Structure 1
Amino acid sequence: MALMAMDVAAERLSVSVRQVQRLAKAGAIVAVGANLLDAESVHRFGRQRAGHRQRAWAEDTAWAAIGLLAGVRVEWLGQAQRSRLKGRLRDIGADEFVSAVRNRATVHHFAAHRAAATRLGQRLVTASTSPLFDDLTPASGAGVEGYLATDDLDGLIDEFALATDGVGDIDVTVCTTSFDLGIIETIAGAGETLAAIDLATSLDPREHTAALDALTRRLKAFA
């Protein structure tokens, strides 16, 4: 595991050290010791927010955009809002889209014992795979990743003894949201869109490129 000091992370992310400490406490980046961070988690966090100065869309708008791109009916926005959002999707690039929908969930990084992987996966809403992502998704062995109701996070941490210091057999990424998990499950099962968004912040060039290519195709098809 590569390490990074908090002051270096603050400089890389263009935020204060105090903000880095808050991010580490929330699990958005992984703290290892009093003043050290897992460098990969810092880079992933920075990539998710990089490249665009626009404000991220609100949670319900972000999920509406993802739903529209996935071909799911979006009934929680009014007709005028849906119309404006459709117009925006016809004029947005893949990397900008990933940045715009970052408020769909809060990302927390943990480590856990390998024996808990199957049960953890059953507790989370995970993006469906497709032939394109069969060998790229986190479920292929690198760890467990999925969505969970915000109110259920503390219980999950206690039940599976999830560690925030990187000590464990597998990496666990929990994306907490207050949005309807039933709708998210429908979106997750509607093709590659959500899987591509999740992988677009990967530091693996192959994963990152494949994810952006998939989103570019979806955006072109939508237009």
Structure 2
Amino acid sequence: MTDTATASWLTGETCLVRTTDEVLLTAKYDVARYDPFDLDRHGVVLPPEFGQAVAKRQAEFLAGRVLAKRAMTLLGSSGAPPTRGALGEPVFAKGLRGSITHSQGSVGVWVTRRPCDLGLDIEHLATGARGDAIRQVALTEAERAMQLSDAAVTTAFSAKEALYKALFPTVGRRFGFDAAELLQPPDASRARLRLTRNLAPGLPAGQILTIKVSWRGKQVMTQCTAGPFGQGRCGAA
């Protein structure tokens, strides 16, 4: 980051992928250093529902948009930072598609020029009460019967989040965690999910989807690519 004001609260930018048509960036943000004036500085407009939100929510939103703009610049785009759609999805400039994620001071952005939709999620290892809550909310009965470790539960939750983000543009509506379930416990590099219901043309019940998984310390990142756009095919990122 070249902006010194930004550098005080958004740091540690790491480029994990950079090609002529795809960029994946991660960074850290410090809510305590967030300043609402940074919104104007970066040309980011908070959605109306964020106007009275706590600083944490505003900082998350801004961090994602600033990093997304950085990724867009690396792809040669001069468009404005992505806005927020009616159901919370990021809306990128024409010709770009992407995904944004936040987790406990970490932010990630994945942007592409390719005709496909992306799902990116970052989660910190869920243990104790949080892990138990995820088991009840995000896992199906069949998945709970697998007796998954905390890391596997966290991976399953993250994989379903990435899947949702990648498929949302095709499905066009919200769908729950029970719309897909693990075929088997995830490993260190992938999670395989099977749709439990028909979501859209090209996304029938029984379709198997592969999500890329990567752990760094106690943090997992999952990636899902759905495309060509509108065809609903999904594979490892």
Instruction: Tell me if TM exceeds 0.5.
Output: no
Instruction: Give the TM-score normalised by structure 1.
Output: 0.30
TM-score, length-scaled by structure 2: 0.29
Hey, which of these two has a bigger chunk of helix by percent? Answer: 1
Higher strand share: 2
Relative contact order higher in (CA < 8 Å, ≥ 6 apart) = 1
